[in-house]
Amino acid sequence: MDSDRAQSDPAAVAAPLVAVEALTRRYRMGPQTVHALEGVTVAIHRGEFVAVMGPSGSGKSTFMNLLGCLDRPDAGQYRLNGREVAGLSSDALAALRNRSIGFVFQSFNLLPRQTALANVALPMVYAAVGHGQREERALAALEAVGLRGRAGHRPTQLSGGQQQRVAIARALVNEPLLLLADEPTGALDTATSIEIMALFQRLNRRGITIVLVTHEPEVARFAGRVLHFRDGCLTADLVQAPEAAA
Amino acid sequence: MTALDALRAALDSLRANPLRSALTMLGIVIGVAAVIAMVAVGAGARDQVLRQIASLGTNLILVGQGSIARGGVKLGAGTASSLTEDDALAVLAEIPDVMVTAPSVRWGLQIVAGNQNWGTVLFGITPDYMDARDWTVEAGRGLSDDDVAQANKVVVLGRTVVRSLFGGGDPIGQPVRVFSTPLTVVGVLGEKGQNTQGQDQDDVIFVPLSTAKRNIPGMAKSNPRFIHSMVVKMRDGSDMAEAQAQLRDLLRQRHRLITDQDDDFWMRDLSEVSATRDASSRALSFLLAAVAAVSLLVGGIGIMNIMLVSVTERTREIGLRLAIGARRRDILIQFLIESTTLSLIGAAVGVVLGIATAAGVAALAGWPTLIRLDSVVLAVAVSGVVGVFFGLYPARRAARLNPIEALRHE
């Protein structure tokens, strides 16, 4: 299973981390078919910081769910780290989400009765990491988001920004190939949003590939590349000089 | 996800709503406590009945003198005087598997000692009678063949009679009187307690058969060999029905009864009594088990209800767990362990409560109770099965959630 992450095959290293071709997803809503995503082709390389933008209904969330292996495409191909995802079993997809992808959500989704440390350790429960190792790795992840001192706090004892940083630590704890953030600043005030974006930039500089969905241009300006979606199609793919958040 | 992780998650979730968890468990607690307490009461009662029956002896046949009919009028039990000591000897000699026959006569009378008197029942017996009915001698000696042969004026007293006549004093060697006959007390019988009908079995006195016949007015009547009844003791494991049939044939033949004449004796097999008692207490146990099963079922439905609520409440948690790599099986197992933990904790509390209830019933109502290990094991096992069975549907529902929709759930 660790081969997902530690592929040393030179061809795989040269290939983009995310290679999407003609990706299509349709939903049936009553008699209508909604074209949530129509033939999207894009490649994302290691170390990129990509913002995905678009109005609601543009397909950006569908795109995100497909990248995160939470959903399956109706047509097209998705290679993650050179590996075709389409044919994988539901258990194999769960393993892929566990080891190769880290999720950050708008509403944090922390377990309210667990400490920050236990929340961060949760993905390791499903990765067969020994109990002894879990605490050490969870503390290291909290350290990376600057919250080592709050390991024993419950989410209700933390501010919104701190909660989101715990969630980011949880996303990082299994050292994923790809960090997916869905409106991570949507529930935060401007100053805290900028702090979170600064954290993403720091992590990105350390080599973590980030794909971030947002509808706010002020957030997208911190990314190095912006994908614009509209009506299920990719309408623009712009490389930009990211603004420094801190 | 290891079992330890799942157990920890389950306990954590149960602790989150302690009152709700406790109320949910209540059905199982009551069910298990009911099984254990009721089985304990049932088993205690059955055990007592079986011991009483064993004290009578299950391989015994009682034969008594029956009624005679004069012109179609039946005169009631004991009116015939056809049963004799010779019948008893013939039964012993001619029917295989008969170990002992013990002829006896009985008479209700007053016994006098000094200035005390007591109404009791006198049995005129041979020593075999004591053996056949499992009487023991607590003090002094029992009756001997010599006593019977010489019609010695000796008597053995039951515990109740001793208490009534002598209080705490030693009766051995003391003179007593029945009618006008003086007798010497030679022994005291071991205590037997009440029989299955609640009669005091210790309110008896035993004298030699010959002594009874010679000294009790009117006893010998026209036939000096007559007896009221005899106890026939069969070898252990004999076919009692077969033995009864042989006995009946032999006695009818000896009494020269023709084909359509009624028996002039009655016969009772104590194993019949024991079978009836056993069957009725078994039926009671079954009824109690059914009641307990219903309450466990209700408890299970309570668990299912609360687990469904829990799955709905924790939809986002389930979505999150799926997103960070839980397989559907992990979610299924987590919720199954949660429902099973709920029912097993309930079962543990129920076991304690059930044992306490049984002890309380024994102490307060004075009923004999017997905690049966198999009822404890069965109740706990059934609770575990109830937890899994009623947890399965909610757990499957949780495991089948779509992670995208679950994460969006409000």
Domain ranges for chain B: 3-53+276-408, 81-263
CA angle B346, B349, B352 (to 5 degrees): 150
Residue B338 has what pLDDT? 93
- What's the one-letter identity of residue A153? H
Q: State the Cα–Cα distance between residues B396 and B392, nearest whole angstrom.
A: 6
Is residue A7 domain-resident?
no
B316 close contact with A: CB closer than 8 A: yes
The crossing angle, in degrees rounded to 10, of helices B315-323 and A90-100 is 80
Task: Judge: B322–A68 Cβ closer than 8 Å, yes or no.
Answer: no
Q: What share of chain B is helix, strand, coil (3-state, %, to 5)?
A: 55, 20, 25
Residue that is written with structure tokens 């009945």 in the block: B49
- What is the token pair recorded at A73? 């495409």
pLDDT one-digit tens code per residue, B282-296:
777 778 778 878 888
- Cβ–Cβ contact A93 with B under 8 A: no
Q: In what order do the strands lie in the sheet with A233-239?
A: A101-104, A178-182, A209-214, A49-53, A225-230, A233-239
Closest CA relative to residue A73, chosen from A88, A58, A83, A95: A88
Chain A residues in contact with B403 by the CB 8 A cut-off are: 70
DSSP H or E segment with residue B297: helix B270-313
- Kind plus residue range of the DSSP H or E element containing B363: helix B328-364
Let me know: does B302 contact B24? Beta carbons within 8 Å: yes
Using CA atoms, how far residue B76 sits from A103, B27, B199, in Å, is: 97, 57, 22
What beta strand segments (E) does B45-114 contain? Answer: 60-65, 69-70, 73-74, 98-113
For chain B, give the mean pLDDT.
84
Question: Are A90 and B327 inside 8 Å of each other by CB?
Answer: yes
Average pLDDT over every residue of B62-90: 69
- ipTM of this predicted structure: 0.91
Higher pLDDT residue, B334 or B262? B334
Q: Do B323 and A103 touch (CB under 8 A)?
A: yes
Partners of B154 in the beta sheet? B184
pLDDT > 70? residue B363: yes
Interval A84-134: pLDDT, tens = 998 899 999 999 999 999 999 999 999 998 999 999 999 999 998 888 899
Enumerate the residues of chain A whose CB falls inside 8 A of the CB of residue B2. Answer: 125, 128
Grade residue A4 by pLDDT with cuts at 50, 70 and 90: very low
Chain-centre distance for alpha carbon B225: 39
Mean of pLDDT values over B143-147: 88
Confidence band of B91 (pLDDT split at 50, 70, 90): confident
Distance CA(A197)–CA(A203), nearest Å, equals 10
Name residue, tokens 């933990």. B341
The pLDDT of residue B163: 87
Render pLDDT for A156-199 as a digit per residue (tens, 0 to 9). Answer: 999 999 999 999 999 999 999 999 999 999 889 999 999 999 99
Q: For residues B358-374, b (16+ Cβ closer than 10 Å) or e, as one string?
A: beebbeeeeebbbbbee
Is A77 a domain residue? no
CB contact (8 A) between residue A114 and residue B12: yes
For residues B226-237, average pLDDT: 83
The mean pLDDT of chain A is 90
> Would you call A103 an interface residue with chain B, using a CB distance cutoff of 8 Å?
yes
CA distance B314 to chain A (A): 10
Residues of B in contact with A127 (CB under 8 A): 325
Measuring CA to CA, which residue among B178, B174, B142 is closest to residue B158? B142
Partner A contacted by B324 (CB < 8 A): yes
Cα–Cα distance between A19 and B77 in angstroms, integer? 106
For residue B5, the chain A residues in CB contact (below 8 A) are 125
Query: How many domains are contained in chain A?
Result: 1
The reported pLDDT for the residue numbered B230 is: 87
Q: Is B322 on the interface with A (CB under 8 A)?
A: yes
Query: Which domain range does residue A234 map to?
Result: 48-69+89-239
Q: Which of A18-32, A105-119, B200-214, B278-292 has the lowest mean pLDDT?
A: B278-292
Specify the pairing of strand A209-214 against strand A178-182. Answer: parallel
Q: Which one, of A201, A191, A188, A194, lies nearest residue A219 by Cα?
A: A194
At residue B139, the pLDDT reads: 85
Q: Is B19 helix (H, G, I), strand (E, B) or coil?
A: helix
Q: Any idea which residue has 């309450």 for tokens?
A: B295
Dihedral angle sign, alpha carbons of residues B43, B49, B55, B58:
negative
What SS3 state is found at B53? helix
CB-CB under 8 Å, A99 with B324:
no
Return d(Cα B140, Cα B184) in angstroms, integer. 12
Pairing of strands B116-125, B204-208: parallel
Give the per-residue pLDDT at A13: 53
Cβ pair B391, B336 in contact under 8 A: yes
Token code pair at residue A245: 């958040």
Does the pLDDT at position B371 exceed 60? yes
- Which CATH number does the domain housing residue A217 bear? 3.40.50.300
The whole-angstrom separation of Cα B333 and Cα B1 is 9
Q: Is A39 helix (H, G, I), strand (E, B) or coil?
A: strand
